[in-house]
Amino acid sequence: MRTIRELFDLKGQVAIVTGGAAGIGAQMAYALGEAGASLVLAARKVERCVEEAEKMQRELAVEVLPLRCDVGQEAEVDALYEQVLARFGRVDIVVNNSGATWGAPSLEYDLAGWKKVLDTNVTGTWLMCQRAGRIMAKQQYGRIINLASIAAFVGAMPEIMDAVAYQTSKAAVAGLTRDLAVKWARHGITVNAIAPGWFPTKMTKGTLDAKSEAMLKAIPMQRFGGEDELKAATLFLASPGASYCTGVILSVDGGWVSM
């Protein structure tokens, strides 16, 4: 029987975190690095990845590689994995955190905004999953964690969140997660998702600043998520200890979807 330390030890593993240079992406990257994994931080703005990588490498004493990648572009996703394999020779964990949103009334929603959100949140997640899956199937081991959202489960009053493409994209991510979990179980790959509630980030700041009072009424814990409250969920789903969990959509939301 493995010990708890062994079940959650990521030493020798390589983890890619898209959008890992800020917000909840950085929080999740820290969780994996603290458990011993070498990290790859990938985002369109590579300068932020470089800055955060230097900080993480200094604080965590693990190798942290910053790389540019627009996950909605197939060629850039392929280039990302080629660089990671050239550097480390393997990919054990992928956290698909890169995301986009676009706010507008649904009756007036612009097609350009719709495509921007779906290209990043759905197509980007799919491309990252498929390329990871090809590598992990050869290894007969892998952990994929997608970022869904409480928006995947419930509609939102327009006064709270008027972003129909985002709601749609996160429901698609949940469906993709469950289907790949079934298809890839035979290859030793688990595919799960985390569905965060409201966490203060650059993306959510405008909404939280303007509507926090109404939003807090819908959260049983009556507060937003904290700076370390996604770390344990991330580490669990990324760990050897989650070997019998696949197709799980784990809500970390203060009780929002239970209302």
**Which residues form the catalytic set?**
166
Q: Which long-range contacts (CB under 8 A, 24 or more apart) does 114-121 make?
A: 114/165, 116/165, 117/163, 117/165, 117/166, 117/169, 118/165, 118/168, 118/169, 118/172, 119/72, 120/71, 120/72, 121/166, 121/169, 121/170, 121/172, 121/173
Rounded to the nearest angstrom, the gap between the alpha carbon of residue 11 and the centroid of all alpha carbons in its chain is 21
DSSP H or E stretch at residue 151: none
Closest CA to 113 of 152, 121, 151: 121
Q: Which residue has the tokens 């990588």?
A: 53
